[in-house]
A and B are shown apart, each in its own frame.
Chain A
Amino acid sequence: MINLHWVILLPIILGTIVKLISIKTAKKIMVLFQSALLISATMIFIEVRKNGTVLENIGGWPDTIGITLRADLLASAMVLLTCFLFLAMVIFVHNKNYADHLFFFLFLSLESLIIGIFLSNDLFNIFVLIEAATLIITVLIMYKKANVAIYDGMMYLLINVVAMSFFLIGLGMLYKKIGVLDFYALETALSQVKDPQSLILPYAFMITAVSLKAALMPLFSWLPKAHGTPSAPSVVSAILSGLYVKTGIYVFLRLQIAFSPLIDTSELFVILGLITAIVGFILALAQKDIKLLLAYSTVSQIGVIMIGLNLDNPMAYWGGLYHLMNHAIFKSTLFLTAGMIISEYQTRNLAEINGVFKHMPAVGVATILSILGIIGAPLFNGSISKYLIASGSSGTWIESGLILINLGTIVVFIKYGQLLFGSSGKKETADSDILEKAVVLTLSMLCFLGGIFGSELIAILFNVKLTVDRLSYSIKMLLFIGSIFLGILIYRGLFKKTNRLAFITSFELGFNEICLSITLFFAFMVAYLKLTL
């Protein structure tokens, strides 16, 4: 097993070195390197799975003083996912023109930073990594230099910098009170604190920033513009929506665990998750740009994950984590296929794209498999995770909320699925790149495998035994079939001819309004904690 810090450093080092080699050889080396990295991540995962958490103190300092890297089961599973997705992306861009040296340098640095965020055990370290990742992503989403790129990039950069300033001042207040920045030292130190009132401000500052990173309800308006901007290459959109947004959820989870003995906001975040999910699919339904539709659907799925993680029920918790992994797989497939469709049809408008199934069969199959995954069709991975979340909430009103959300997702993807059918108006089938097809087909097959071997995969990844009860699973599936019919009816009745929600898209938050919503969210958190503690 290689040391943890090498997993973080190697991609950046390689990204720098390949500058010396011609881009053709560099791309081949990159694929080999990513495979090697995936193998070493697997080895770390196996090690953690066998012998428990791996700790590494950088610089040989004793615990809690220096910077520590910590690979527990969740972190190493996320690292495994990261390495796997980046391998897929590097193969995907193998024959693309825009993938030059600079692109690979930025892309591999982003990989390093994401792995760093997952492994880091120190709050300030996480701040630095996120800030660096923000700058790199800003360049990456403007990479194709489209007309509007600079505005989208600037918004993304400034909003995230503002949020991280909130994070940092919260960190300062926490350090003044507690005197440690290490997550696990924090956990012990916080359990000694008698008076939770004194931690309201630091918690509110930090959770505001993290909620923005995870794109929760009032704070998600930056996400679709960043993930769905025309200038972002499809691999970048896939990584952002599939993986990077999960770092926000991951830090959120870590913070919630650390603060859990004192401050318990799980009920609030279940409700926020529910609102996020509902608002997300309503906005997704209003879009006519396919990339924006997918980006808003990410917001909606994040809501579902948040519900699962905050329900305070083991079934729902592991279901939420499994949904997080599943979403990474199917949403990156959807973004990649959307990128291929856009470059073939030269338009992003959903209404102008028809007959993908006939014109690009492989892309059509990949799209339909991942759509089945995201709407939770029987035997697909989404159904397992959604089933677990729903069974964790059974008997409460949240269960019916989840059914509503799934119905919304179904309507959104019936709308999205229209691009598969009809006639494309083009005669022969498109000759897309064989590697691209291979990548999207493999990823979409994983949606299927993740469904069939759902509970086995959860047992391997998280070391918990969850049984899927056949009876209640079949009830869920009947419910799903009912939702499909209802979804088709809703779509035919309301959205087929005219887009009845189009007026929503004319509301758009500018920079000042987003800053105002950050401040209001912060004020709301402070008031909520004052009242409940």
Chain B
Amino acid sequence: MISINGESISILLFFVGVHGLIARRNIIKSIMSISIMQVAIILYFISANTAPGSVPPIGDVAQTLHVADPLPQALMITDIVIGIGVTAASLTMFIHLYHRFGSTNWQKVMKKRNHHD
């Protein structure tokens, strides 16, 4: 029996993102799917290593018994920054791509690209 917790939800979300990448021809939706995958990864890191009842490692935690592992949280701050950078870069590139090829469809863009060659 799979329980509903952060870990299983995040794996589900990850594959929702993968499905979006495979099944959607729209470039914006591809970028959105990548963002969904990144959110899933962040959720996975944060939730998979936390024991129930533990306290986030913020502020004075000297008195608390169970402190959540701070390393995944630190890693995920880096990943959030990278994710924003990647999404911003791909959206900017998409604007240029749209100006050049006039379509949001991967297939049509690919055909026009090969026509240019």
Contact = CB atoms under 8 A, between A and B. Distances in A.
B67 interface: no
Nearest to B34: A161
Interface string A131-174: 11001001000000001101111100110011001001100110
A516 B38 contact: no
A165 B37 contact: yes
Nearest to B48: A176
Contacts of B37: 162, 165, 169
A511 interface: yes
B48 A172 contact: yes
B86 A151 contact: no
Interface in B33-74: 34, 37-38, 40-41, 44-45, 48-49, 71-72
Nearest to A168: B41
B93 interface: yes
Interface string B88-117: 011001101100110000110110011011
B116 A161 contact: no
Contacts of A162: 21, 34, 37
A515 interface: yes
A128 B107 CA distance: 31
Contacts of B34: 158, 161-162, 165
A515 B21 contact: yes
Interface residues of A, number: 32
A154 B17 CA distance: 18
6 contacts: A132-B82, A165-B34, A511-B27, A512-B25, A515-B22, A519-B22
B72 A508 contact: no
Given A165-B14, A165-B41, 16 more contacts: A124-B78, A148-B113, A151-B101, A152-B113, A157-B90, A157-B93, A161-B86, A162-B21, A165-B37, A168-B79, A172-B44, A172-B45, A508-B110, A510-B106, A511-B30, A512-B25
B71 to A, nearest CB: 8
B44 A169 contact: yes
Contact of B97 (A151, A161, A173): A151
Interface in A339-380: none
A154 B14 contact: no
Given A511-B30, A512-B24, A151 B110 contact: yes
B74 to A, nearest CB: 10
A138 B89 contact: yes
Nearest to B100: A150
B86 to A, nearest CB: 5
A135 B114 contact: no
Contact of B22 (A148, A169, A516): A516
B18 A515 contact: yes
Interface of chain A, main secondary structure = helix
B89 A157 contact: yes
Contacts of B72: 172, 175
A173 B25 CA distance: 30
B17 to A, nearest CB: 8
Given A135-B89, A150-B96, A154-B90, A519 B18 contact: yes
B90 A131 contact: no
A418 to B, nearest CB: 21
B23 interface: yes
Contacts of A154: 27, 90, 93-94, 97
Most B CB within 10 A of own CB, among A147, A157, A515:
A515
B93 to A, nearest CB: 5
Interface of A: 124, 128, 131-132, 135, 138, 147-148, 150-154, 157-158, 161-162, 165, 168-169, 172-173, 175-176, 181, 508, 510-512, 515-516, 519
Nearest to B117: A148
Contacts of B100: 147, 150-151
Contacts of A124: 75, 78
Contacts of B71: 175, 181
B104 to A, nearest CB: 12
Given A168-B41, A172-B44, A511-B106, A161 B114 contact: no
A429 B38 CA distance: 55
A175 B23 CA distance: 31
A169 B40 contact: yes
Contact of A148 (B30, B90, B106, B116): B116
B28 to A, nearest CB: 12
Contacts of A168: 41, 79
B12 to A, nearest CB: 12
A519 B21 CA distance: 10
Contacts of B30: 158, 511
Nearest to A165: B37
B31 A158 contact: yes
Given A138-B89, A154-B93, A519-B22, A176 B41 contact: no
Nearest to A169: B41
Q: Would you list the 4 A-B pairs with minimal beta carbon distance, nearest first?
A: A515-B21, A151-B113, A165-B37, A511-B106
A128 B82 contact: yes
A150 B93 contact: yes
Contact of B82 (A131, A169, A511): A131
A512 B23 contact: yes
A133 B78 CA distance: 15
Contacts of B25: 512
A128 B89 contact: no
Contacts of B17: 165
A176 B113 CA distance: 44
A147 B99 CA distance: 12
Contacts of B44: 169, 172-173
B86 A135 contact: yes
A157 B30 CA distance: 12
A165 B38 contact: yes
